[in-house]
Amino acid sequence: MQLQNICQVLNIDIKISNDIDIIGLNSLQEATSNQLSFLENKKYLSQLQETKAAAVFVTQDMANKVPNNTIALVCDQPYEVLAKASKFFAPQVAQTTGKKPKLGKNSTIMPNVYIGFDTTIGDNVTILSGAFIGDNVTIGDNSIIYPNVTIYRDCVVGDNVIIHAGTVIGSDGFGFATTKDGQHIKIYQNGNVTIGNNVEIGANCTIDRAAFSSTIIEDMVRIDNLVHIAHNCKIGKGSILVTQTGLSGSTTLGEYVVMAGQSATTGHLSIAPFTTILGRGVVSKTIKEPKKHWAGFPLMEHRSWLKLQGKIQKLIK
């Protein structure tokens, strides 16, 4: 869409001399000269000042902080306006036309499998009954998709990947902008999920697609059953997520992080490489120092947590 048309639909009063074709939305850090972004929280002001976005939704008090090559789209509620704009760039739920699926050599597709348009299946792939593979999906060589797996449109699965029964890849992230009167406006999740090579994902897991860009699972990750990974997370190479782990949006795990059963994060944070979060540990702040063990809530180093538990037991006695 042209930027002037977007502004008209969203009731933003601005005149643009040289109109710009906008192809989508993105974060302040990753937006390009033909994408829109937004600033709602002032703690991301430094990202605003460095953004390459064509235009940014901002409040009036932040308009003078927008870079010279970026257009300030002034509005009262930037996050709410972004949510409304996201609908303009949402792809079709299901294509009705396109190229027939491309199947590699020696691939086995069992009965009752659906494969959408513009999808590519690699060599020696096995897809078992009941699986749904959406439009424009790529599945690499030697991968196994077990029964009733759902892979939404535009997702990418690497080579030598195993996805067990009932898992959903690419469902919408839980993104809503709440208005002043309490309505929840859907933010359309226009990104995808990208899964690397030599990854194994257990049964009944859910990995949400990104709001924009990608939710990323890097090479050699191991994910147990019943794990949830929210939108725009990045799981580092060789990490292990044990059953009932839940990651909130925009969590970044470094390489070889271990998250034990029922552990969780609160989102928009990073965990250093080779960190271990013990069972039921909740990460609420970024962990910068690698190779440490953490436990409990509030989270503390494992040794300190053990000492605390010992003192509690003495108090009880």
Fold of the domain built from segment(s) 3-89: 3.40.1390
pLDDT at 42: 86
Residue 23 to residues 37, 88, 114, 192, 252, Cα–Cα distance (Å): 12, 10, 29, 16, 26
pLDDT at 150: 98
The domain limits of the chain are 3-89, 102-304
Give the C-alpha separation, 145 to 121, whole Å: 11
Kindly state the greatest CA–CA separation across the chain.
Answer: 77
pLDDT at 46: 92
Query: Could you tell me which residues come within 8 angstroms of residue 74 by beta carbon, excluding any fewer than 6 positions away?
Result: 12, 14, 58, 59, 60, 63
Give the C-alpha separation, 161 to 193, whole Å: 14
> What are the catalytic residues?
231
pLDDT at 13: 84
For 48, phi then psi, to 5°, come to -60, -45
Q: Omega of the bond prior to 273 within 30 degrees of 0, cis?
A: no
Give the C-alpha separation, 215 to 185, whole Å: 22
Written as one letter, the residue type at 76 is D
102-304 belongs to which CATH class? mainly beta
Give the residues of the chain that fall short of pLDDT 70.
none
Query: Could you tell me which residues come within 8 angstroms of residue 196 by beta carbon, excluding any fewer than 6 positions away?
Result: 158, 216, 217, 218, 219, 220, 221, 237
pLDDT at 14: 83
Q: pLDDT of 245-262, one tens digit each?
A: 999 999 999 999 999 999
pLDDT at 16: 78
Q: pLDDT of 170-220, one tens digit each?
A: 999 999 999 999 999 999 999 999 999 999 999 999 999 999 999 999 999
